[in-house]
A = this chain, B = another copy of it.
Amino acid sequence: MEGDPTLRLRVFDLNCWAIRYLSKRRQERVRLIGNVLRREGFDLVLLQEVWSEQDYSDLKVKLGGCYPFSHYFRSGVIGSGLCVFSRFPILDTLLYQYSLNGYPYMLQHGDWFCGKSVGLVIIKISGIIFNVYVTHLHAEYCREKDAYLPHRLVQAWELAQFIRHTSKAADVVLLGGDLNMHPEDVGIRLLRGWTGLRDAFAEAARFEGCEDGCTLVPNNCFTVKTELLPFPLGIRIDYILYKAVSSFTVKCEELKTTTGTAPGMDIPFSDHEAVMATLHIQRQGRAAGAPLGAAEPTLADVVTEARTEVGVGLRAAQQQRYSAGRMAVLALLLLLLQALAALGVLAGLAAGQPFPKLSFSLLAFLAIGVLLLATGLHLFHTMEVKMLQGTEEQMRMVLRALQERPSDG
């Protein structure tokens, strides 16, 4: 390391849990976050769940001095919640919204309304091009029966594809965010395997913080303790990942997490712990990168595993599409039947009044409601099926390429 000039980069990542009206002590915590960012003077700050643009604007004003460059990514009904603050000029940005992101009717899980995305900012520091990605994947509400696993896998796949396709001119790739996956989960193995990204926690020369690098810990007064019962130490779902794409090396000198409360405070910054990495970037003669050749059999296994899970999701989505379609047809039939009966009465075929007007009208309205709802659901699940099929096919293509590669030389 010595001899050559190295660049030292301090990166801060946090899921801020700043949901207007819902998150506890939000404004106070956003102020605290602003304070620590100003005091510590990181080079790069990657935030998630900054749902309120007002919070972003407040942070922007507060941090203007030490982080003159920033970007807020807009998407979905509520927003993407993603933003970046930087000491160095942001040259360009791009947002990619994941094609699947839960269900609009799962109001209690709200993910669909957030337009979950990955944001890219391009930054040049000392002539080195950094592609910095910030993202937040679909939450896991029940680990035993995780209905959102296929959606999260599609997101992990799209994230990996987006990074691969957009980072070809970058010297260094950084990804920070709440991936909502444990380190051994198939989605994170897929992301790491397919992009070659390394886990700052695993690579760090020094670590300080929650045991095992956990970022959702029982020690934090805002976490839901029952959800963490199976994990007495907590779970690690927030990451800083990196790789050098061309003739550079990146090393993680130090990784830190907060430990339940913000340093010197009585409350935490968020229900998540912050992840802080100190990276060393050095130019070197030969191109660096993970020895992909050796890792390929493993990668094929991971892609196969992910593809199986996407297939499970696909069959579930097809089943739901079918059920919604059948419901719509039944509602339509009921409406037609009612229309026929009403016509019969009008034509004088039936004597007197065979059914009470009120129940008749209520039934018709109910049928119309069910018809509209079921049609909407059918359309939604049709889209879901298409995206799952598309991902499955892409994975199949990649598997074929991985298997053929040795013969291609």
List A residues at the B interface (Cβ < 8 Å).
Answer: 73-77, 79, 90-97, 99, 113, 115, 120, 161-162, 164-166, 168-169, 357-358, 361-362, 365, 369, 379, 382-383, 386-387, 389-390, 393-394, 397, 401
Whether A94 contacts B162 by the Cβ 8 Å rule is yes
Whether B382 contacts A74 by the Cβ 8 Å rule is no
Whether A96 contacts B95 by the Cβ 8 Å rule is no
Q: How far is the CB of A195 from chain B (nearest CB, A)?
A: 13
Q: How far is the CB of A104 from chain B (nearest CB, A)?
A: 9
Count this chain's copies in the assembly.
2
Contacts of A79 in B (CB 8 A): 386
Q: How far is the CB of A362 from chain B (nearest CB, A)?
A: 6
* CB-nearest residue of chain B to A379: B77
Contacts of A162 in B (CB 8 A): 94
Whether B168 contacts A113 by the Cβ 8 Å rule is no
Whether B390 contacts A94 by the Cβ 8 Å rule is no
A387-B74 CB under 8 A given contacts A120-B165, A168-B168, A361-B361: yes
Kindly state the separation between the CA atoms of A357 and B356 in the bound complex, as whole angstroms: 11
* CB-nearest residue of chain B to A381: B77
A76-B386 CB under 8 A given contacts A161-B94, A165-B94: yes
Given A92-B164, A92-B165, A166-B166, 19 more pairs with CB closer than 8 A: A73-B390, A74-B393, A75-B383, A75-B387, A76-B383, A76-B386, A77-B379, A77-B382, A77-B383, A77-B386, A90-B397, A94-B162, A115-B383, A120-B165, A357-B358, A358-B361, A361-B361, A361-B362, A369-B369
Kindly state the separation between the CA atoms of A94 and B166 in the bound complex, as whole angstroms: 11
Whether A74 contacts B166 by the Cβ 8 Å rule is no
A397-B99 CB under 8 A given contacts A361-B361, A386-B79, A390-B74: no
Kindly state the separation between the CA atoms of A76 and B381 in the bound complex, as whole angstroms: 10
Kindly state the separation between the CA atoms of A76 and B390 in the bound complex, as whole angstroms: 11
Kindly state the separation between the CA atoms of A75 and B389 in the bound complex, as whole angstroms: 10
Contacts of A97 in B (CB 8 A): 97, 99
Kindly state the separation between the CA atoms of A35 and B389 in the bound complex, as whole angstroms: 29
Kindly state the separation between the CA atoms of A77 and B383 in the bound complex, as whole angstroms: 5
* CB-nearest residue of chain B to A104: B379
A74-B168 CB under 8 A given contacts A97-B99, A397-B93: no
Q: How far is the CB of A294 from chain B (nearest CB, A)?
A: 21
Q: How far is the CB of A342 from chain B (nearest CB, A)?
A: 14
* CB-nearest residue of chain B to A162: B94
Kindly state the separation between the CA atoms of A76 and B380 in the bound complex, as whole angstroms: 9
